[in-house]
Structure 1
Amino acid sequence: MKKLIVHIGSPKTGTTAIQNALANARETLKSSGVVYPRGLINRISRNEILDNHNEILDVIIRDPKNWGRSSRLLYGDVDSERLKKTEGSRFLNELKGAERVVLSAELLFGYRPDDIGKFFDLCRECGFQQPLVVAFLREPVGLYVSMAQQVLRGSAALPPPSGFRMNYCGSLGKWTKRENTQLEAVAYDSVTDVVNHFGQLINEHMDTQVGGKLKSLPNMNKSISAEAMILLQDYQKRFRAKGENRVTHEVNELVEVFRSLNNSSVKQSKPQAKPWVTAKINEINRDEIEALSAKFEVTLPYSPPATAEAAPVALDESALDVRDILCEWSPKTLNNLIVHSLHELASNAGTKADSNSRKEDNLSTWARNVIAKVLRKSDAS
């Protein structure tokens, strides 16, 4: 019988690391009879094949108006029907010709029921009658901090903790309504852990040992420090209009500078939610965590503070500062990060173009003016 493993995320649980490991081991997997199909071409980089199957499944299954953000960015301006006939047909033929296949697309976790139905129809069309659906789940507080980092890449606005309610059971339930569907739901631990665990699932489900060849590459953790989050929000407040949400090249450059300095020039602090944030998120997700354990036998860490700390009375959750939600950050480290970041940004600017002809960009403006403002806030804290 043909076998299929479908990794559906969820987001922020090492999905990129799993996809990168699978893509790098594609030929090794294939030599053992396990196929990890090629995704679409990244139209921005031109020559890079996407490691995941988010975009190709969007093209085949969903109406373009329901595509994920990356699909719209990369392929929103092309003829979707033509793309479906060319790349979609190529992808389906690869599935039909294989006996053992692995797919990975974290956007599947949020698919609507009708799109999930279309996905299962696709599986049957390709000869897969009983796919194994794999989902990794992250405890809500850690997920909130990770999502806050992601949000700051496009906007200065932070998500309010009081509205951060998960729907794990609802998302998983949509995938178990179909007959002959096996579900493996796993509590997320770390990037290395999920890659190793996924390799074990390949070995067990597909009767092979090739899953042990999956390796988590170094620097796959894309998180940034508490101090970097403070500086990133400061930058976004200066150059993002209220309500604007988009990731720019300058933001990506700034984030890479912060990450390159961590553990080398500047020992930075791991972001930790304040007790009131932890208490609030755990409180509104307690029923969901208990239901997840009862229905799907997944136990997520749940450790509310011994003494619940209320949010500051005057705190407006619609205009949160990073300092409002994080408790572990150092003014001294913040100062060091500013100094080293300014040096790196100045060096990068010098390599890009002749400074006499280069128009001043937002990063340069921010670099010149940020020290006084940020350090005043540090002193006040």
Structure 2
Amino acid sequence: MTHLILHIGHPKTGTTALQTVLSTNADRLLEAGVLYPTKAKPSFHNHALAKPALTGCDDHVIRGRYGLEGDELRRLSERYWDSVKAETKQHSHDTLILSWEWLWDVDAARSEYFRKRLLEVCDHITAVGYLRDPARFFLSMMNQRIRMFRGILLFQEDYYRSVIDAYRENGFETSINVFESAHFANGDIVTDFCTKYLRPDLPALERGGNAERGNESISNEAMVILQEVARAHSTSSPDASPDARDSRRSKTVRIVYEADRALGGNLRPSLKPEIEAAQVARSTDLIWLRDEAGIQFANVDYDLVGTTGHPDLASLHSVEDFSPIDPDRLAALRAMTERKIARVYGRGAPVYSLVRRWFGSTTP
């Protein structure tokens, strides 16, 4: 009997670190009867490419990576899933791990089909999730989306419960955890995952490299600049998908990231206190999550849930609306990056500082 540990995220909860360690130690894990598939092509530290085939749902990250969508993407995804299944048949194992954080958004309509497809490689499934509190999760997602040249997005008011209920109602066993170091075994997400879900006699796993490379956050001021660049160049390819690959974006992010680190000062992204309170107030499922699922966040004031009089988050669109900005640091960062960014986009591209003055805080 094969037990599938399905790591579903959610996003921004150390998933890259976990996936990197599991991939690095795949051979060692297999010796202990734990299979973390790594041979499927194209290869990842996660198994995201299986998502379109298993859920019927495209994923913006995958679309951006491959420049495919619809039937083309699903065909590639089916081939990938076939190679995962082939790898599971090649090895003797009693535990199988599949991990990709964007499985958190598989909706109720797709969950039953999803479970049936997963049973092609296992006999029993436990869906494992680690959750951040709403304010910290929103901040992490905002930081990531800005670095991906995407707009700021609010998650739905029952974000936690809707997903957990969808899994449970479609036959999944679930195991949900708080993403806070104080709750982790040895204060570490990887150790915590292995201790809770893998064999107790598991050998020590090798740690190496920068497991969070590419997932590193940027300061509030750096987010402002990247949002300005995204707005300045959002009409350069009017027919392009928002997920279309554009090498200029990654170059711009690197310019801003390096300048951000070189400038120093307060690099830690943050939200205004009133925005944090508003995020908690609109998260209507926090009480359910605490009382029914046993998940309680240490820094959440539960008396705020459902209260009124907070900023209307849906009416806000700019980084400056959500996060405190140091004007002197922002000016210095602009001075360090403006010419380099202008060169990336070429002479014919609008200078983003001019667009900032023309359009102000207009949403892209």
TM-score range, shorter chain: 0.7 to 0.9
Q: Does 1:144 align with 2:141?
A: no
Q: Does 1:70 align with 2:65?
A: no
In 1: Cα distance, 2:195 partner to 2:209 partner: 14
- Identify which of 326, 331, 345 aligns with 1:330: 326
- Identify which of 159, 162, 167 aligns with 1:167: 159
Q: C-alpha offsets along residues 118-159 of structure 1, whole Å, 9 cap, x if unaligned?
A: 333344333x33322210111111122222223334557434
- Identify which of 169, 174, 181 aligns with 1:177: 169
Cα separation, partners in 2 of 1:77 and 1:228, compared to 1, 3 Å: same
Cα separation, partners in 2 of 1:276 and 1:77, compared to 1, 3 Å: closer
Corresponding residue of 1:238: 232
Cα separation, partners in 2 of 1:120 and 1:95, compared to 1, 3 Å: farther
In 2: Cα distance, 1:252 partner to 1:201 partner: 37
Q: Does 1:250 align with 2:237?
A: no
Q: How does 1:262-341 map to 2 (within 5 A)?
A: 262-285=260-283, 287-300=284-297, 301-303=299-301, 317-318=314-315, 320-327=317-324, 329-341=325-337
1:129 maps to a residue whose letter is D
Cα separation, partners in 2 of 1:176 and 1:112, compared to 1, 3 Å: same
Identity %: 20
Cα separation, partners in 2 of 1:330 and 1:305, compared to 1, 3 Å: farther
Q: How does 1:352-371 map to 2 (within 5 A)?
A: 359-360=346-347, 362=349, 365-366=350-351, 369=353
Contact 1:11 1:106 in 2 (8 A): yes
User: 2:130 is paired with a residue of what secondary structure?
Assistant: strand
Cα separation, partners in 2 of 1:166 and 1:151, compared to 1, 3 Å: farther
Q: TM-score, normalised by structure 2?
A: 0.78
Q: Does 1:208 align with 2:201?
A: yes
Corresponding residue of 2:11: 11
Cα separation, partners in 2 of 1:219 and 1:5, compared to 1, 3 Å: closer
Q: Does 1:193 align with 2:188?
A: yes
User: Shift in Å at residue 52 of structure 1?
Assistant: 1.2
User: Shift in Å at residue 317 of structure 1?
Assistant: 4.8
Equivalences, count: 344
Contact 1:199 1:213 in 2 (8 A): no
Q: TM-score, normalised by structure 1?
A: 0.75
In 2: Cα distance, 1:81 partner to 1:230 partner: 36
Unaligned runs of 5+ residues in structure 1 are 43-48, 350-357
1:278 maps to a residue whose letter is E
Q: C-alpha offsets along residues 84-105 of structure 1, whole Å, 9 cap, x if unaligned?
A: 6754333113224442211102
2:223 maps to a residue whose letter is M
Contact 1:40 1:87 in 2 (8 A): yes
Contact 1:21 1:216 in 2 (8 A): no
- Identify which of 33, 42, 51 aligns with 2:45: 51
Contact 1:6 1:134 in 2 (8 A): yes
Corresponding residue of 1:355: none
User: 2:115 is paired with a residue of what secondary structure?
Assistant: helix
Q: C-alpha offsets along residues 232-276 of structure 1, whole Å, 9 cap, x if unaligned?
A: 122122221499844632222222222223443433432221122
Q: C-alpha offsets along residues 61-117 of structure 1, whole Å, 9 cap, x if unaligned?
A: 233xx2222344424377567656754333113224442211102232222345332
2:321 maps to a residue whose letter is D
In 2: Cα distance, 1:343 partner to 1:84 partner: 41
- Identify which of 80, 84, 87 aligns with 1:94: 87
